[in-house]
């Protein structure tokens, strides 16, 4: 299968993040993508194509214009405030504060357009995020033109990004942008299957009232794990989207036996929806040695993940999400893709 990747996605270089009450070394690092790229080359999975530029239109199908304007203008505002490194939001318009005002200062805007303090944003983050979205779009275009499968080596990841907020290391929702693009190019019923360890709150929010894009997510119970405030089993969609959103929250410590039972149920949902195109939000953080995950999948389990998804027999776009056991990331990611190819 073909993959899509650009080295410009490495320009987002977070150094620290707020974690467990202290500033720790960031985990969403450029080397993540390099390990995956190197493994693709090592096993000869297929060509790696440079993304082409799709411009703002496909981003505006998913994100609000004011959010994209903020992201585009962030670097200038940040530098005008006399800062050169990375910024962290630290105040949000929660209950009791006004959510109908848009501050001028960059710190106010960071709170307006984010949902957590765990996502460092630097001068080059927007550039890298844009190319990451172009990578998803370029791979989606291959599917729209008839390829049975394609892999978007996205980094930074996307599934936590909401219509108008960044967070969870995500700025643009690559999988959502690709799914919407596929709809616009003729797919009728798209399913997004999210296997990242964390709930894809952004993707869920974006499509929650949509009957044409189904969202299925396997993840750690949000009562115990980030993003805490979305991803519960009673979230089934609203309006036209009612019955098109399903969550499989699982206990910390879940291994292949429990995880694969949820995967089987999700695959049954993908089939019964009448899906014509599948987008997989491919997080590799359910891995047993992942530094921020408490699931127990082993490297060989990822081959089974690809095999199970292939059984659906659908045109499939894989979009990379999380996964922080850097030295195992290439093997685990390419195991899914090789398992799919059989
Ligand atoms: N102490 C993705 O996998 N915070 N995002 C972790 C750990 C956020 C993960 C804090 C985790 C976000 C795409
Ligand atoms: Zn994750």
Please give the distance, rounded to the nearest whole angstrom, from the Cα atom of residue 15 to the centre of ligand 1. Answer: 15
Helical residues (DSSP H) of the chain, grouped into ranges: 30-43, 57-60, 65-80, 106-112, 125-144, 174-184, 201-207, 256-272, 299-310, 326-341
Q: Is residue 145 part of a domain?
A: yes
Is a pLDDT exceeding 90 seen at residue 218?
A: yes
Indicate whether residue 322 lines ligand 1 (CB < 6 A). yes
Q: Is 14 in the pocket of ligand 1 (CB under 6 A)?
A: no
Active-site residue identified among 160, 198, 199, 219: 160
156 prior amide bond cis, ω within 30: yes
Mutate to test the pocket of ligand 1, among 162, 175, 194, 198 (most ligand atoms within 8 A of CB): 198
| pLDDT of 229 over the 90 cut | yes
pLDDT at 37: 98
CA dihedral 242, 201, 162, 101 (to 10 degrees): 90
Rounded Cα–Cα distance for residues 196 and 219 (Å): 6
C-alpha–C-alpha distance, residues 297 and 325, integer Å: 12
> Would you say the pTM of this structure is higher than 0.95?
yes
Q: Is 8 helix (H, G, I), strand (E, B) or coil?
A: helix
97-107 residue pLDDT tens: 999 999 999 99
Q: Among the bound ligands, name the one nearest to the CA of residue 21.
A: 1
Cα distance from N-terminal residue to C-terminal residue, the chain: 11
Question: Over the stretch 275-287, which tens digit does the pLDDT of each residue have?
Answer: 999 999 999 999 9
Ligand 1 site-directed mutation target among 322, 324, 332, most atoms within 8 Å of CB: 322
Q: Quick one: 42 exposed, middle or buried, by C-beta within 10 A (0-12, 13-18, 19+)?
A: exposed
Closest CA to 182 of 142, 209, 148: 142
Where are the alpha helices (H) located in 186-291, listed in sequence order? 201-207, 256-272
CA of 46 to the centre of ligand 1 (A): 30
CATH number at residue 14: 3.40.800.20
- Specify if 83 maps to a domain: no
Q: Give residue 90 CA to ligand 2 midpoint distance, Å.
A: 22
Copy the structure tokens of residue 218.
Answer: 């396997």
Which pLDDT does position 225 carry in this prediction?
Answer: 98
105 belongs to the catalytic site: no
Q: Residue 197 and residue 322: Cα distance in Å, rounded?
A: 8
CA dihedral over 331, 35, 342, 320, signed as positive or negative: positive
- Measure 28 CA to ligand 1 centroid, in angstroms: 9
The pLDDT value recorded for residue 282 is: 99
Is 195 inside a domain boundary? yes
State in Å: Cα 198 to ligand 2 middle: 4
116: in domain: no
Domain ranges, residue 45: 2-64+124-341
Tell me, rounded to whole angstroms, the distance of Cα 340 from its chain centroid.
20
User: Is 108 inside any structural domain?
Assistant: no
302 and 290 Cβ atoms separated by less than 8 Å: no
* Portion of the chain with pLDDT greater than 90, in percent: 99
157 lines ligand 1 (CB under 6 A): yes
CA–CA separation, 325 vs 294, rounded Å?
12
| CB-side neighbour CA atoms (13 Å) of 209 | 1
Ligand nearest to the CA of 169: 1
Task: Report which DSSP code applies to 213.
Answer: E
Is the ipTM higher than 0.95? The answer is yes
Give a yes or no: residue 96 inside a domain.
no
SS3 130: helix
Peptide bond before residue 143 is cis, with ω within 30 degrees of 0? no
pLDDT exceeds cutoff 90 at 19: no
* Cβ of residue 198 lying under 6 Å from some atom of ligand 1: yes
Element of type H or E holding 318: strand 316-320
Q: Residue 250 domain-assigned?
A: yes
- Asked whether the beta carbons of 173 and 164 are under 8 A apart, the reply is no
Q: Which residue, 210, 212, 263, is CA-closest to 237?
A: 210
Q: pLDDT tens across 304-328, in order? A: 999 999 999 999 999 999 999 999 9
Residue 22, SS3 per DSSP: strand
Q: Compute how many other C-beta atoms are within 10 angstroms of the C-beta atom of residue 251.
A: 13
Residue pair 285/291 in contact by the 8 Å Cβ criterion: no
Ligand nearest to the CA of 227: 1
Residue 101 lies in a domain: no
Ligand 1 atom at shortest distance from the alpha carbon of 24: 1
Q: What is the per-residue pLDDT across 117-175, written as a single tens digit (0 to 9) for each? A: 999 999 999 999 999 999 999 999 999 999 999 999 999 999 999 999 999 999 999 99
Question: Which of 132, 168, 231, 295 should be mutated for ligand 1, with most atoms under 8 A from CB?
Answer: 168
Number of domains, the chain: 1
Paired sense of beta strands 277-282 and 245-250, if any:
unpaired
Residues with CB under 5 A from ligand 2 (ion): 196-198, 283, 285, 322
Distance between Cα 223 and ligand 2 center (Å): 15
**Is 171 close to ligand 1, i.e. is its CB under 6 Å away?**
no
Is any atom of ligand 1 closer than 6 Å to the C-beta of 296? no
């Amino acid at each position: 299968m073909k993959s899509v990747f650009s080295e410009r996605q490495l320009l987002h270089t977070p150094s620290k993040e707020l974690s467990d009450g202290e500033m720790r070394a960031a985990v969403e690092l450029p080397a993540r993508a390099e390990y995956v790229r190197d493994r693709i080359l090592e096993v000869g999975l297929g060509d790696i194509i440079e993304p082409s530029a799709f411009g703002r239109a496909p981003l505006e199908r998913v994100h609000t214009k004011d959010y994209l304007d903020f992201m585009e203008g962030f670097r200038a505002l940040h530098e005008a405030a006399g800062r050169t490194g990375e910024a962290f939001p630290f105040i949000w318009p929660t209950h009791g504060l006004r959510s109908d005002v848009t501050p001028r200062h960059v710190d106010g805007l960071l709170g307006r357009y984010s949902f957590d303090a765990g996502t460092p944003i630097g001068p080059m983050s927007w550039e890298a995020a844009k190319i990451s979205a172009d990578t998803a779009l370029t791979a989606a275009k291959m599917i729209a033109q008839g390829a049975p499968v394609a892999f978007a080596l996205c980094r930074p990841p996307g599934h936590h990004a909401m219509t108008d907020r960044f967070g969870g290391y995500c700025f643009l929702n690559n999988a959502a942008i690709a799914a919407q693009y596929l709809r616009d190019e003729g797919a009728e019923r798209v399913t997004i299957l999210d296997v990242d360890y964390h709930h894809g709150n952004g993707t869920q929010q974006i499509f929650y009232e949509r009957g044409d894009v189904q969202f299925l997510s396997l993840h750690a119970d949000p009562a115990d794990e980030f993003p805490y405030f979305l991803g519960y089993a009673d979230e089934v969609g609203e309006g036209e989207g009612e019955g098109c959103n399903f969550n499989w929250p699982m206990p910390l410590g879940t291994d292949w036996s429990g995880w694969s039972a949820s995967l089987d149920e999700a695959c049954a949902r993908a089939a019964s929806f009448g899906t014509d195109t599948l987008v997989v939000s491919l997080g590799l953080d359910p891995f047993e040695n992942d530094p921020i995950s408490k699931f127990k999948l082993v490297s060989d389990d990822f081959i089974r993940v690809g095999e199970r998804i292939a059984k659906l027999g659908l045109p499939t776009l894989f979009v990379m999400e999380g996964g922080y056991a850097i030295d195992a990331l290439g093997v685990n990611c390419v195991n899914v893709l090789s398992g799919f190819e059989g």
